[in-house]
Copies of this chain bind each other. A is one copy, B any other.
Amino acid sequence: MPTFLDTAAPDFDARFSALLGQKREEAEDVDHAVAAIIADVRSRGDAAVIELTARFDRLTLTAETLAFSPAEIAAEIAKVTPEDRAALELAADRIRAYHLRQMPEDASWQEPTGATLGWRWTPVSAAGLYVPGGLASYPSSVLMNAIPAKVAGVKRLAVACPTPGGVVNPLVLLAAELAGVDVIYRIGGAQAIAALAYGTATIPAVDKITGPGNAYVAAAKRRVFGRVGIDMIAGPSEILVISDGSADPDWLALDLLSQAEHDQSAQSILITPDAAHARAVTAAVEKRLETLERREIAGASWRDFGAVIVTRDLHEAAALSNRVAPEHLELCVEDPEALSLEITHAGAIFLGAWTPEAIGDYVGGPNHVLPTARSARFSSGLSVMEFLKRTTLAKMTPEALRAIGPAAERLAISESLEAHGLSVRARLDRLNG
């Protein structure tokens, strides 16, 4: 049974806080094993990567076959049906168009002092994208990670995707091609992260690594952070649906289940002021769970972490949503724009009942890599910004230095940093001398 809460109940605050504090994932402690793998790849390079791939993925590679050849990629891609290709192309085009709009502007301006200030954005030179193998090998994730990198201007974009037993998902290779990926290595796990971060004879090091992965991949990303940049460490997915009762209960049930079917640690929450509607959606979830292919996973998620909350009104619903800071938020209400103005923390908002969250997973345009586990309080989804960095610019003239240099000198002295002060003073003396 999911959790049922009513904000009018006397114990609501305690029970809602318990819901917020619920731990949905036991972090597997693989750090020791990962440290050893990284050390091995750093010291033995390709040989270590090849050995570990043989051990973990039952796949025999050589330095020459670490990467897919163009012919291999073409052969796999040829297996894709025209319908799947068209869908992936539509998604790629829309994701690209959305992310192009995110490109930030450079700036430069001159002050009355004569000083010129500004900044300039430049892309990361080389990035690596981790793509899980097996069941969680999602072509949509390839698009969502690779397209922002290429839009940002990353010159060399490498994909690492394990192919256990040599099996690869042709749609993953097509997604990489559509996104403009430069090279695809058939390696995975901590050894792939280590190879991308430190480089080997065959695999050049990158500057930034993004993409989802299992506990080993996550631990390896944490360990190489600093050596390279990484994206967030994603946790299990969440959806929160605020409904005023006007939408079809079955639609909302499917939206809640579309998170729940990802992972039994996923969380689906319905908040509505309409108690009868809450019961109708709950019944629709149970009904759909009878036949859903992934009913075991989705059912466990809904039973263990699902929640239905009845509120006094929609304002209270928005306030509770802000405390959750959900990854995905659907506003299935008559005036979603108005309610959205009350939302202060959410990874992505889907406005109105005609916008199922699944649209955002594939073809909406915005990124589907979003902050989980309440981190929308302080972080954003993946964007071109993760593949850009800003260099600040400052140029003084003699007059500008005369105007603001003495204040710098004084502050340097107050911080006992004499050379800082002298570097300004030597120039001011030239002006005065």
Smallest CB–CB gap between A234 and chain B, Å? 11
Residues of B close to A345: CB separation below 8 A: 122, 125, 389, 391
A208 within 8 A of B: yes
Structural contact, A294 and B378, CB atoms closer than 8 A: no
In the complex, chain A residues 108-167 whose Cβ is within 8 Å of any chain B Cβ: 109, 115-117, 119-120, 122, 124-125, 135, 138-140
Residues of B close to A104: CB separation below 8 A: 104
Which of B101, B381, B405 is the one whose CB lies under 8 Å from A107? B101
Given A124-B377, A366-B119, CB of A349 within 8 Å of CB of B393? yes
Residues of B close to A347: CB separation below 8 A: 391-392
Which of B349, B376, B411, B426 is the one whose CB lies under 8 Å from A88? B411
| Residue of A140, A396, A398 with most partner-chain B CB within 10 A | A396
Which of B124, B140, B383 is the one whose CB lies under 8 Å from A411? B140
**CA of A350 to CA of B116 in the docked complex: distance in angstroms?**
10
Structural contact, A419 and B359, CB atoms closer than 8 A: no
| Residue of A122, A233, A375, A389 with most partner-chain B CB within 10 A | A389
**CA of A350 to CA of B353 in the docked complex: distance in angstroms?**
52
Structural contact, B392 and A344, CB atoms closer than 8 A: no
Closest residue on chain B to residue A122 by CB atoms: B344
Which of B376, B405, B417 is the one whose CB lies under 8 Å from A359? B405
Which of B91, B389, B415 is the one whose CB lies under 8 Å from A138? B415
Smallest CB–CB gap between A349 and chain B, Å? 5
In the complex, chain A residues 354-373 whose Cβ is within 8 Å of any chain B Cβ: 354-367, 370-371, 373
In the complex, chain A residues 385-404 whose Cβ is within 8 Å of any chain B Cβ: 385, 389-398, 400-401, 404
Smallest CB–CB gap between A83 and chain B, Å? 6
Smallest CB–CB gap between A298 and chain B, Å? 7
A69 within 8 A of B: no
A427 within 8 A of B: yes
**CA of A107 to CA of B257 in the docked complex: distance in angstroms?**
30
Please tell me which stretch of A35-43, A59-67, A180-188, A246-254 contacts chain B, meaning at least 4 of its Cβ atoms lie within 8 angstroms of it.
Answer: A246-254
Please tell me which stretch of A10-18, A258-266, A305-313 contacts chain B, meaning at least 4 of its Cβ atoms lie within 8 angstroms of it.
Answer: A258-266
Given A366-B392, A383-B390, A407-B91, CB of A414 within 8 Å of CB of B228? no
**CA of A44 to CA of B359 in the docked complex: distance in angstroms?**
46
Residues of B close to A233: CB separation below 8 A: 226
Residues of B close to A419: CB separation below 8 A: 254, 257-258, 260-261, 288, 292, 294, 298
Given A233-B226, A358-B421, A404-B90, CB of A125 within 8 Å of CB of B410? no
Structural contact, B207 and A377, CB atoms closer than 8 A: yes
A7 within 8 A of B: no
Smallest CB–CB gap between A397 and chain B, Å? 6
A229 within 8 A of B: yes
In the complex, chain A residues 210-248 whose Cβ is within 8 Å of any chain B Cβ: 226, 228-229, 233, 248
* New A-B contacts (13) at CB < 8 Å, excluding given A140-B415, A355-B394, A357-B423: A87-B408, A90-B407, A98-B117, A138-B415, A139-B411, A226-B373, A229-B375, A248-B426, A260-B419, A340-B393, A349-B393, A361-B412, A364-B396
Closest 9 CB pairs of A and B: A229-B378, A366-B392, A351-B395, A254-B423, A87-B407, A358-B420, A257-B419, A356-B423, A380-B390
Chain A to chain B contacts (Cβ below 8 Å), 11 pairs: A88-B411, A116-B351, A138-B415, A208-B378, A250-B426, A258-B420, A345-B389, A347-B391, A356-B424, A363-B408, A366-B392
